[in-house]
Each structure stands twice: as C-alpha cells, then as structure tokens.
Amino acid sequence: MFARNRRIIGKINLSKLLSTRNFTTSNSKYTANSCSRTKTHPIDDSAKAIRHLQFITRLPFEKGLQIQEQFAEAQLDIKELHAKIKRKLEKFNEEHANSTINETESKILDKILAMKPNPIVLTFEFNPTYTGGKRVKKTMTPERVAQFENFVPCVNSCDVPPTFVQVERGGQVTFHGPGQMVAYIILDLKTFDKFPARCFVSALEEAVIRTLNNTPIDDQKNTLNIEGNLQNETGVWTNDGKKIASLGVHVRRSITSHGVCINVNPDLSYMTNFEMCGLPDVLPTSIKEQRPEVNVLVQDVAVKFVNELANVLGVTIVERMQLDDMDLEK
C-alpha cells in the first residue's frame, strides 16, 4: 500500500491542514488471507481512511509533542461537542415530547454530528531526548535528569545535546532521537469494532512486527525479514533477546495519543545509558545492527509502519502528506 507522496515545503498551519486536499490517497486491495489477520475493522465512516503526516526533517521532541497535543485536543473537542448536542436533544425530547425541531435545524445538527476526524498518524525523527513515562513521574530526581542531559554518546554524531521531558504516556524512561522512527497515533477507539486500549496496544505491536519483516530493502522485492517477538513487557524484541521497538500510549475519553518508537539506525549508546523498561538486563538493538548490510532509512520505516497499521486495523485507505514543519495554533 504505497502512495506517491505529496510534500509541503516549509510550515503549514493546523487549520489549513485539516481542511486541505493536499493528501495523496492510496487504496489497498487485500486478499482474503490478509483480511483475516486484521485485529478489528472500522464501524464509523470517519475511520475508513488513515491520514499520515510524515515529518521528513528532524524536529525538537517538544515540537512534536505539541503537534500531537493539538490534534488530540481537536478530536476531544469534537467529541465533547457531539456529546453536548446529544444531551441537549435528549433534554428537548423529555421536555417537549410532542414537539420536533424543524427540518433546517435537524439537517444542521446531522451535519455537525457527522463531522468526525479521520485517524491521524504523525511520524517523526527527533533531536536526542529522554522521556519519562507515568511510572517514573514521582521518582525522577533532578540529579537523574542531569545525568540524562549531560550524557555524551559514543559516536557523538549529533550536535544537539540530549534533553529530558516528562510526558503523559504509560511506561518508564524511553529515548527518542536521530535514527529512530517515532509514530504518534491519534484515533477514537470507539470508531473501531471491539477495540479497547489493550487491543490497541496489541495492534501496534503487530504492526511493528510486520514492519520489521516486510519493509523493502531493494527493487527485487526482498524485505528486512527481521523476526520480532513479544515478551511480558510491552514492546518488540528480536531473536537475540534485545529490544528493537518501544510502545507507550495514553487514552482520554477513548482518544489515543503517543504510540511507537522503532530503532532504525540510532547510536545505541544513548539507550545503554539507562535501565530500559525498568529491567536491568534489557539491551537495545536496531534494524542496522540486525541487518548491517542493508540501508534502510527512517522515512522508509515510517511509510511501511503506517501501511501495516492500516492492515491491522482493517483500513483500506491511507492518505499521506510529507511536511517539514507545522505552525501551531495559539
């Protein structure tokens, strides 16, 4: 499911983006076998297409977090508007049992209730950043933060020092930086069939496993063929017991945020600087370490992951836009 991407040079405003037709559409035709491997399927028309915003220049982590928050808040605002309208209609029907609203008002309300945003996937490559999840929020000390921010990697190929940011996802300490593909998934779980948060996490893990196996490495249809495995902790591991992808999600009123980080070709010393997943014996790995002879880019993995996630969700359309940056609304 590959689309010809459309690139927007420079910055674009969120409101303009949500109303624009700058997305490139890709339709995917599945065989019966691939359909049977989906984890769920859309039960609302708004969920039948995924919008992929592919940021192709490296950004500060905080900027990516702000972009994600604006999309998540937009979904939550629309959800709250729908709830208010439904409550008002219920109250009207209770107080005026023999009355109806006029046809014009009814059409306007129907149009508002039909306004639901598509699932959004934002993919990034960030400047080096350590992020703390909810499980370390109360125990993180200034001394530990200083250790993260003063760390010098083995290769030291990035001229930007690492920062530490506390976030509202699940999990413990995670690293995001150059050579990693970070995907934030913003969707309404209730627009998919029988899809609670635990199934959403399972779907993300499955999409990562398929990405590691199916990402093309040449024009002869050869793929990475890296076998990903699951363990008791969330995330994806390779056959040698090393962790190649981290997961952490946040759910508010069934709207998801945060998501997945896949190690493509980062400096792994950033990740041996701390205890991954709170487990002292966990070591990181990457696509580059597992397949040193191939040259796979972060953007290749971003495109493949979103396509595989669509497969898992039973979505047949991916609309993709490439961006350098985005202006945030104030």
The full set of domain ranges for the chain reads: 6-323
Confidence of residue 240 (pLDDT cuts 50, 70, 90): very high
Per-residue confidence band for 178, with pLDDT thresholds at 50, 70 and 90? very high
Picking from 143, 110, 136, 125, the residue whose alpha carbon sits closest to that of residue 64 is: 125
Considering the entire predicted model, what is its pTM?
A: 0.86
pLDDT category, 106, cuts 50, 70, 90?
Answer: confident
pLDDT at 262: 98
Residues 6 or more apart in contact with residue 180 via CB below 8 angstroms: 125, 126, 261, 262, 263, 264, 266, 298
Type and span of the H or E element at 182 = strand 180-186
Catalytic site residues?
A: 277
Placement of tokens 């759910």 in the chain? 251
pLDDT at residue 181, rounded to an integer: 98
For residues 68-76, give the mean pLDDT. 95
DSSP code for 239: T
At 37 the pLDDT is: 52
Residue 35: Cβ within 10 Å count: 12
Across the range 161-177, mean pLDDT stands at 85
pLDDT (0 to 100) of residue 276: 64
Categorize the per-residue pLDDT at 36 as very low, low, confident or very high, splitting at 50, 70 and 90: very low
Amino acid at 60: P
For domain 6-323, the question of CATH label 3.90.1300.10 is answered with no
86-95, 106-115, 142-151, 169-178: which range is least confident on average? 106-115
Checking if the pLDDT of 2 tops 50, the result is no
Indicate whether 35 pLDDT > 70: no
Residue type, 220: Q
pLDDT category at 90 given cuts 50, 70, 90 is confident
> pLDDT class for 23, splitting at 50, 70, 90?
low
Phi then psi dihedrals of residue 2, to 5 deg: -105, 135
Q: What is the mean pLDDT of residues 153-158?
A: 72
8 Å CB contact between 177 and 263: no
- d(Cα 48, Cα 41) in Å, to the nearest integer? 8
Rounded average pLDDT over 82-91: 84
Instruction: Please give the structure tokens belonging to residue 256.
Output: 């998801």
User: Does position 224 have pLDDT exceeding 90, yes or no?
Assistant: yes
What is the reported pLDDT for 83?
A: 84
Asked whether residue 247 carries a pLDDT value surpassing 70, the answer given is yes
